[in-house]
């Protein structure tokens, strides 16, 4: 099992972190404008399987960072083997979603980026990926082509989610704001990685990221259903 993550997939989050075109080691930072004209692909990075935190365990703030931040994201679970998947067939490779937290050591990430070095340790450290309760797309009112019934108008790009820190709403997201859709991400990732059953795709975070502290409680809802609760120790 591998965890494929997408960076910079919401324009407002890019602004929040003061990303600008060409700022990050020569990468074209995605925006609503340059995405329309196809100037960039999804920005991918990996977390190892040891990054996955059991859903009934708390997250312990690591001692190697003074600025661990939460990033709430829609997570998709791959349900079959696939390689070089055309975008039009990508929907066949998942039928469950949840919300997850991509825990990020922001101070380490900044330091490594400033030196032009890889920053995977700031994202892929042990227990840095938390996933909530999985929901079938059908339970969210999404029926795709070939699933027996007439396809629904609702798609995976029309899901709303919210995250609270200690009961206070911090992030509100709509998957329609993604700069790269779920199917585009799967198609692109499968050019480089063989997708296997059980692989997870973290699809990026909207604005509102922030620091966690010992004693915090993170909760999150997908389409009004609470699917995630994570305590910080």
Average pLDDT over every residue of 225-229? 98
Domain hosting 86: range is: 3-231
Alpha helices in 70-166 (DSSP H): 106-114
Cβ atoms < 10 Å from Cβ of 13: 22
How far apart CA 18 and CA 15 sit, in angstroms, is 5
Rounded distance, CA 157 to CA 182, Å?
8
Residue 13 is predicted with a pLDDT of 87
Say whether 177 sits in a helix, a strand or coil.
Answer: helix
Q: Higher model confidence: residue 52 or residue 151?
A: 52
Whole-number pLDDT of residue 38: 41
Q: Rounded to two decimals, what is the model's pTM? A: 0.91
The tally of domains found in the chain comes to 1
Q: CATH no. for residue 45?
A: 3.90.850.10
Contact indicator for 8, 30 with CB cutoff of 8 Å = yes
Mean pLDDT of 159-168: 98
DSSP 224: T
Distance CA 40, CA 61 (A): 34
pLDDT score of 19: 53
19 against 85, higher pLDDT = 85
Give the whole-angstrom CA distance, residue 212 versus residue 125.
Answer: 16
Q: What's the average model confidence in pLDDT over 68-97? A: 98
Q: Which residues contact 168 (CB under 8 A, 6 or more apart)?
A: none
pLDDT for 18: 72
Q: Which of 33-42, 123-132, 137-146 has the highest mean pLDDT?
A: 123-132
**32 vs 82, higher pLDDT:** 82
- What is the reported pLDDT for 26? 41
Please say whether the beta carbons of 130 and 200 come within 8 A. no
**What pLDDT, on a 0 to 100 scale, did the predictor assign at position 27?**
42
pLDDT digit string, tens, across residues 200-211: 999 999 999 999
Tokens of 31: 């925006």
CB atoms within 10 A of CB 129: 26
Query: pLDDT digit string (tens) for 16-60?
Result: 877 543 344 344 445 544 444 344 899 999 999 999 999 899 999
The counts of H helices and E strands in the chain are 4, 15
Average of per-residue pLDDT across 167-194 = 98
Sheet of 217-222, strands arranged across: 168-174, 160-165, 217-222, 225-231
Q: What is the mean pLDDT of the chain?
A: 91
Position 12 pLDDT exceeds 80: yes
Displacement of CA 68 from its chain's centroid (Å): 16
């Amino acid at each position: 099992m591998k965890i494929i993550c997408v960076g910079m997939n919401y324009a407002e989050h890019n602004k929040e972190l003061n990303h600008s075109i060409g700022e990050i080691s020569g990468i074209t930072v995605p925006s609503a404008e340059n995405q329309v004209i196809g100037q960039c692909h999804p920005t991918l990075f990996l977390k190892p399987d040891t990054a996955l935190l059991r859903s009934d365990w708390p997250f312990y703030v690591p001692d190697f960072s003074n600025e661990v931040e939460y990033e709430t994201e829609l997570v998709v679970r791959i349900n079959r083997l696939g390689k070089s998947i055309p975008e039009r067939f990508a929907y066949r490779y998942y039928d469950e979603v949840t919300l997850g937290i991509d825990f990020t050591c922001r101070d380490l990430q900044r330091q490594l980026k400033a030196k032009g070095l890889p920053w995977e340790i700031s994202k892929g450290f042990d227990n840095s990926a938390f996933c909530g309760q999985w929901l079938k797309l059908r339970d969210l009112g999404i029926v795709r082509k070939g699933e027996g019934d007439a396809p629904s108008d609702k798609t995976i790009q029309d899901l709303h989610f919210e995250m609270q820190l200690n009961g206070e709403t911090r992030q509100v997201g709509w998957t329609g704001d993604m700069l790269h859709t779920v199917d585009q991400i799967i198609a692109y990732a499968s050019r480089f990685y063989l997708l296997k059953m059980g692989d997870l795709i973290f699809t990026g975070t909207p604005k509102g990221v922030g620091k966690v502290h010992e004693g915090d409680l993170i909760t999150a809802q997908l389409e009004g259903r609470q699917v995630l609760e994570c305590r910080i120790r």
